[in-house]
Structure formats: structure tokens, C-alpha cells
Amino acid sequence: MANNQTKYSFIAEELKKRIFAKEYPLDKPIPDEMTLAKEFDCSRMTMKKALEVLVLEGLLYRKRGHGTFIIKSALDMDRLNIHSQEVNGFTKLLEGRDVESKIVQFQVTFPDKYVAERLNIDLETPVYDIVRARLVDGEPYVLEHTCMPVALIPGVTQEVLEHSIYTYIRERLNLKIASSYKQIRADKPGQLDFEYLDCSETDPVIEVEQTVYLNNGMAFEYSKSRHRYDKFVFTTVNIARR
């Protein structure tokens, strides 16, 4: 467990690995809270919070009087299933699969007015200007254009970009990623989409524009991610509170 990781988030990740490894049958409830709490040596409240994370991510649902079940459609591995609450980054989202990052552009520059407003910085604050193509099991999935303030996220190198920026932020910089604001839209493909996403002229792309914040409220990332339409599903989970 990472130093800055809570017990319940660690348990949630372990349970997620089991779910995608199909260690639990899909037609039966997963073990109950007490059984799992004993296995993970934690309180029932901690286990309840861990399961709640997976419910909010759309992996589990609770059926009163019957237990907690896996949502079968969430295990569709042909499409990238991004949840409305997702702030873990692309590599973490697809943990266990072969994720490759191709660096298309990496430079330090100054933001334009729009990017500066999204990051709440002035026009003279240096930012990383990063474009990466992300491949999963050898297939193109996403083309990311990301801007980050250099002073807030220091030390980003080509080696970091070839792996996971979010892992670097959490484990090397010891910063906590807390929240994001996303807008999702369909768009026509452009030249970079043709080149790096293997799109045809008639293929739409799904663009996710987002600003991501640390737990101190500072915006550390503004990005636009262009997803292949056939590799992307956006999931939102609404839970009625009684």
C-alpha cells in the first residue's frame, strides 16, 4: 500500500483486480462485508467504504436482502469504461493490460489565455505542453493533449511520459489528486486523429476536456483527450439516497 493511500482505497483496488480477473462468479453475490473485513483485517466501516467506491465506479450494485453483485456490463474489455468520478489516470484505469505511450510532442511553453484561465495561472507561467498517443495491447485508444504548470509538477521527463504521469505525481511528488471537471462531446476527426488513432474520415471521435485538481484546490492539469468512438464508454452512476 502506497504511503499516501488510504486503507479503503487500497482494498477497493484489490477487489477491482479480483473482479476483472473473474475470481468472483457473476451470477452470485461477492463475499459479504464481514467476511471481507476479516480477510483484509479491517473494520466493517472501512470495508463498507471500499465497496462504496466500487459501487460509485459502476462495478458493483447492492440488492437489498440479497448482497452485492458485479455489474456484468462493466467487464466489457473491448471498450475503455471511464466513470464520471474517475481521477486515477489512463494507466491506472487499465491496470493489468499493456499500455504504451507514444510521445508526439513535449515542450515547455507559455499558456494561451484559455489554458491559463482553466489552470488559474497567468500568461507568463511556464507549462508543459504534452501530446501523447496511448495504445492498449497494441491498439490506438486515445490521443491526449495535456498542459501542466511546471512549478506545480516539477521534474517531468520523457521517461515519466512514457509511463504514468499520475503515478509520478502520487508516488514521487507525494501529491494527492482529488477531483476533476469534465466536458464530453463528439467531434469530427482531424489530421492527428487520422495519424495516431487510425480513424477514417467518417469515424467520429469522443473528446473529453477536463481540468484536474489536487486536494489543496490547485488545478494541475488541463487536457483534451480524443478517444476512438469504438473504444470508449462513459459511465455515470446515480444512487438514490433513502
Dist CA 136 CA 60 (whole Å): 24
Dist CA 34 CA 126 (whole Å): 51
Q: What is the pLDDT of residues 2-55, one digit of tens each?
A: 665 788 888 988 998 898 888 998 888 999 999 999 999 999 999 999 998 888
pLDDT of 90 above 80: no
Question: In 3-86, where do the E strands start and end?
Answer: 60-63, 67-70, 80-83
C-alpha distances out from residue 211 to 8, 115, 224, 229, Å: 26, 10, 9, 22
Dist CA 233 CA 79 (whole Å): 6
Tell me, what's the pLDDT at 237? 56
Q: What is the mean pLDDT of residues 127-140?
A: 93
Q: What is the pLDDT of residues 181-224, one digit of tens each?
A: 888 999 999 999 999 999 999 999 999 999 999 988 899 999 99
**Residue 91 and residue 99 in contact, taking contact as beta carbons nearer than 8 Å:** yes
Residue 95 or residue 134, greater confidence: 134
- H or E element, residue 16: helix 7-20
Q: Would residue 174 be called left, alpha or beta, if left means φ above 0 and alpha means ψ between -120 and 50 degrees?
A: left
Dist CA 67 CA 30 (whole Å): 7
pLDDT of 122 above 60: yes
Rounded to 5 degrees, φ, ψ at 33 are -60, -45
Residue 106 or residue 231, greater confidence: 106
pTM tops 0.85, yes or no:
no
Q: Percent helix, strand and coil across the chain, each rounded to 5? A: 30, 35, 40
Give percent of the chain with pLDDT exceeding 90. Answer: 55
Tell me, what's the pLDDT at 60? 87
Tell me, what's the pLDDT at 13? 87
For helices 7-20 and 33-40, give the axis angle rounded to 10 degrees.
110
**Residue 232 and residue 206 in contact, taking contact as beta carbons nearer than 8 Å:** yes
Dist CA 206 CA 233 (whole Å): 9
Residue 212 or residue 179, greater confidence: 212
